[in-house]
Structure 1
Amino acid sequence: MSLSLHRHQFTLQPESARVIIRPFIPASSHRLSTIIGRVLALTEAEVEEEMERVHAGFDDRHLDIESALFNHFVKVESQVFTQRQLSRARQLLIGAVFSGEYALESAALFNPSIVPHPDQTGVAEGGLRFIMSLRATGEGHISSIEFREGHIAPDGEITLTPVSRFVSLPEVVPNPGYRKKRFVIKLHEMGFDNECAMTVMNALADEFTRSELSACVVRVRRENLPLAHENRRTLECVQWLADSNYELRFPDKLALSERILFPVSDNESNGIEDARFVRFVEDDGNVLYYATYTAYNGRAILPQLIETQDFLHFRVLTLNGSAVQNKGMALFPRRVGGRYAMLSRQDDENLFVMFSDNPHYWSDPHLILRPAEVWESVKIGNCGSPLETEAGWLVITHGVGTMRQYCIGAALLDLNDPTRVIGRLRGPLLCPLGSEREGYVPNVVYSCGSLIHGGQLILPYAMSDKSTAIVSTPLAELLQAMKP
């Protein structure tokens, strides 16, 4: 059966002009001190003249350049070897010599997911405002998460809100909170359930802050001097785990396209990859947006979780459990049989589903789909969270076949028992065609999430790991094609 596909006439291309300011600080303390010394040797007139050049060259590229430069001055302030009071201009110039621009999406803008916007105010009846997340990749192949806003009109036409020239990093909340139970579980999984770790944890309340944790770590370190190697590694792990669970906050004045989630913790230092956002509705009707993503530090991957209600305040959390591994975890949009459900790929080949009473803890995966057709003979995975239909859970899949070509397919799971596959496309829903085949990784179409609206499947997809487009297809046709 041939499916009707409508490719919407726009493409999201990477834009090199969207830049943030990042620290540009040498690892050598000797070099750092030498650079600071050169700035301290300038006269005040020379400092002000140079700062005028900085403002003239960069003010129109950033919403608030001085805040970024001052933050970078604070990072090196302890190395400033003078007792005299520094002028604001000199502080900013020290920050400027330790700063550099980073083009977030200079290499690629791809792997999208799409969810209904939390604010539908003013949307015409039959229309929908949506948020699209995108993986942006720049110099050094560091990936981050960007956002776009758009509308689906009652007649099905899709438009995107114009993108701002500016991009802003969020504030990292300085003293986030933690829950002891999750913290202890993760320490146990990592092999740090020893006496040293328990001494730290036992001194904390069921919910504690980063400052309270740091005070406990300092006390335990002091009380156990000289520190044994195992205890040193344990305390370092406790601090690392705290750094991997953090909170971010954007000012509400920022447009959606101006917000960027850039790597914060060490375990994602080389990228936040392939976020799969889902609008999750609890049994009591409360709505929370989750996203699973892959943290990458250049050596290992770690699945993580994002939580937000408004796309202004984000909580980033480590996931726990023996089944938290590999890429492509995707949460169902509601509980199934009273439990949370998640798609995953445990073995880099097949598709699994797992259930949990806690969205932060996952184990006992059930194999549901193996490669069956030539176009998916190498491996299969999901293209985002399942979509609920009257016929069953619609799972958009990806398959890798000959010549490492990625195509997009679909499967249907039983609504009440998602371990049971009740339908599956024999052929691909979407394959790379024409110019879609050319890019950073050729012959790939891929998605991290779709939605259903107005009887249509709305599927944003990446083209060869470079740019992004949107295709739609009638839901009824797709479901009919998947009948057993």
Structure 2
Amino acid sequence: MLDLFTHALRLHADPSRVVVRPFHIAWAGPRMGPSRTERLVREVLAMSPGQARTQLEVVLKDFEARHWQTRRVFMTRYDEIEQQLGLDGSKIGDEKRQLIGAYFCHEYSYAAAALMNPSVVPHHDQSGMPPGAQRIVMSMRAVGEGHISSVAFREGIITDDNELTLAPEPPFATAADAVGGDDELPVGPVTVYRHRDSTLSGTVIFPVTDQQSKGLEDLRLVEFTHDDGVKEWIGTYTAYNGSAIQSELMRTKDFRAFDLVPMTGSASRNKGMALFPRKVGGKYMMIGRQDGENVFIISSDTLENWDEGDLLLRPHYPWELVQMGNCGPPIETDEGWILLTHGVGAMRKYSIGAALLDLDDPTKVIGRTKEPILAAADQDREGYVPNVVYTCGATRIGDRLFIPYGIADSSIGFAFVEIRKLLDLM
């Protein structure tokens, strides 16, 4: 197995990390007569000023110290309800408006069950970085109530001597959310917005459409460079509604507005798609797993539509005989594209390996590792799903790869590997 440097830092699930997010009460069932939103607002408006004040004081006593700018969050949520129902806010006092907002919010522990399957990209702001250091953005799959997955972020800095420092999590997290009505679940493309006063490390993206209702799973981020040189951060993820999966894109240029866009085509009905960081031969390229067993490569004229591709890698070595898949977007080097892969062997033990693809024609495999570069060690075997190591994307920092990886579907660890040593294995 490759000699790599494993950082001592570990990130774990934390039930104390809670966020106030919109409570779309009308999504819970079919509409019969006046909407539940209208009925609830009518009930609050019918309260006397004293009753409304008392109820708001109870809410603030329970929650104001647990969340950031709670009153402003309630007022922002009220503004959305006002716009939806056409209310005249000038005739409604501040206390009733805050109370209405509170009824349409709820507290959610977004990482109570697990924190896992990270991906990492260069940060969009590299100002002030010393030579050899790089600022990064890491996405994580956070699993909370109802085993629903959302996307959380951490920012950090990596130095040239393998030192990793993550920016502190703010004491209060905030939810990115779509702007729109409450009486029906959105479908199709949607844009969610980071709160204007929130850091990226304190932002969580939750499911907002019907297809995503049970989770946003395994975001694979990549810094994508378009033909005109413009950079965009694009992630592929699995949207799950409890019975069906659909691959979708997350697109952002500033990590403040995030477009969540369903993909079309036969390949998009599978999970685990990973986008190349630029076009190759005039085509968008994607790594996929169409049959749940082998690794495929797919090309397309658009970012949104992906049909069947060509077989690229099939299980060959003992540690990957059950199935294979990618571990994030390919990474460009002078020697070719480094593709991290995962393999499943006996006793459903997961390991991470790598393959090298031709730079101009990535359908050609130049080499692959005969042994894993990372596998579940003794201290990494226990958790929600034992014997699993898994990453959704590494990044190149100078002559090294930085690999954040999920451990037993429960926590996150970090490793560094020298690219030259990795290439020598292939």
Q: Conserved in 2, the CA contact under 8 Å of 1:156 and 1:454?
A: no
SS for the counterpart of 1:46 is helix
When structure 1 is superposed on structure 2, of 361-370 and 121-130 the one drifting more is: 361-370
Q: Cα deviations across residues 61-83 of structure 1 (Å, max 9, x unaligned)?
A: 2223235445666788899xxxx
Aligned counterparts of 1:362 and 1:301: Cα–Cα separation in 2: 15
Alignment partner, residue 294 of structure 1 = 238
Alignment partner, residue 2 of structure 2 = 3
Q: CA deviation at 1:363?
A: 2.0
Assess, with a 3 A threshold, how the Cα gap between structure 1 residues 435 and 38 changes in structure 2: closer, same or farther. farther
Aligned mate of 1:135, from 134, 138, 141: 141
Alignment partner, residue 23 of structure 1 = 23
Alignment partner, residue 127 of structure 2 = 121
Aligned counterparts of 1:259 and 1:70: Cα–Cα separation in 2: 19
Alignment partner, residue 52 of structure 1 = 57
SS for the counterpart of 1:267 is coil
Moved over 6 A (4+): 28-31, 33-38, 74-79
Matching of residue 461 in structure 1 with residue 400 in structure 2: no
1:189-208 to 2 correspondence within 5 Å? none
Q: CA deviation at 1:147?
A: 0.7
Aligned mate of 2:278, from 317, 334, 352: 334
SS for the counterpart of 1:435 is helix
Aligned counterparts of 1:266 and 1:296: Cα–Cα separation in 2: 9
Unpaired stretches in structure 1, ≥5 consecutive residues: 80-84, 176-238
Aligned counterparts of 2:130 and 2:188: Cα–Cα separation in 1: 41
Matching of residue 284 in structure 1 with residue 228 in structure 2: yes
Amino acid in the other structure paired with 1:388: E
Aligned counterparts of 2:81 and 2:137: Cα–Cα separation in 1: 38
SS for the counterpart of 1:159 is strand
Aligned mate of 1:166, from 169, 172, 186: 172
SS for the counterpart of 2:319 is helix
Q: Conserved in 1, the CA contact under 8 Å of 2:19 and 2:108?
A: yes
Q: CA deviation at 1:451?
A: 0.9
Q: CA deviation at 1:27?
A: 4.1
SS for the counterpart of 2:62 is helix
Aligned counterparts of 1:433 and 1:315: Cα–Cα separation in 2: 38
Q: CA deviation at 1:173?
A: 4.4
Q: Cα deviations across residues 34-76 of structure 1 (Å, max 9, x unaligned)?
A: 9778756754323212312322321232223235445666788
1:21-420 to 2 correspondence within 5 Å? 21=20, 22-23=22-23, 25=25, 27=29, 43-70=48-75, 86-97=92-103, 99-174=105-180, 243-420=187-364
Aligned counterparts of 2:259 and 2:346: Cα–Cα separation in 1: 40
Q: Conserved in 2, the CA contact under 8 Å of 1:386 and 1:395?
A: yes
Q: CA deviation at 1:7?
A: 0.9
Q: CA deviation at 1:251?
A: 4.3
SS for the counterpart of 2:211 is helix
Aligned counterparts of 1:3 and 1:375: Cα–Cα separation in 2: 15
Aligned counterparts of 1:253 and 1:76: Cα–Cα separation in 2: 21
Q: Cα deviations across residues 257-291 of structure 1 (Å, max 9, x unaligned)?
A: 12211111110000110000000112332111110
Unpaired stretches in structure 2, ≥5 consecutive residues: 86-90
Q: Give the number of aligned pairs.
A: 415
Q: CA deviation at 1:351?
A: 0.3
Aligned counterparts of 1:350 and 1:54: Cα–Cα separation in 2: 53
SS for the counterpart of 1:170 is strand
CA RMSD of aligned residues (A): 2.8
Larger radius of gyration: 1
Aligned counterparts of 2:18 and 2:172: Cα–Cα separation in 1: 7
Q: Cα deviations across residues 152-177 of structure 1 (Å, max 9, x unaligned)?
A: 112221111111121112352459xx
Q: Which has the higher helix share?
A: 1
Alignment partner, residue 88 of structure 2 = none
Q: Which has the higher strand share?
A: 2
Aligned counterparts of 2:115 and 2:145: Cα–Cα separation in 1: 13
Q: Cα deviations across residues 438-457 of structure 1 (Å, max 9, x unaligned)?
A: 11111110000001113111
Amino acid in the other structure paired with 1:23: F
Aligned counterparts of 1:267 and 1:145: Cα–Cα separation in 2: 16
Amino acid in the other structure paired with 1:143: S
Aligned mate of 2:375, from 411, 431, 437: 431
TM-score for both structures, normalised by structure 2: 0.90
Share of identical aligned residues, percent?
43
Aligned counterparts of 2:133 and 2:81: Cα–Cα separation in 1: 51
SS for the counterpart of 1:244 is coil
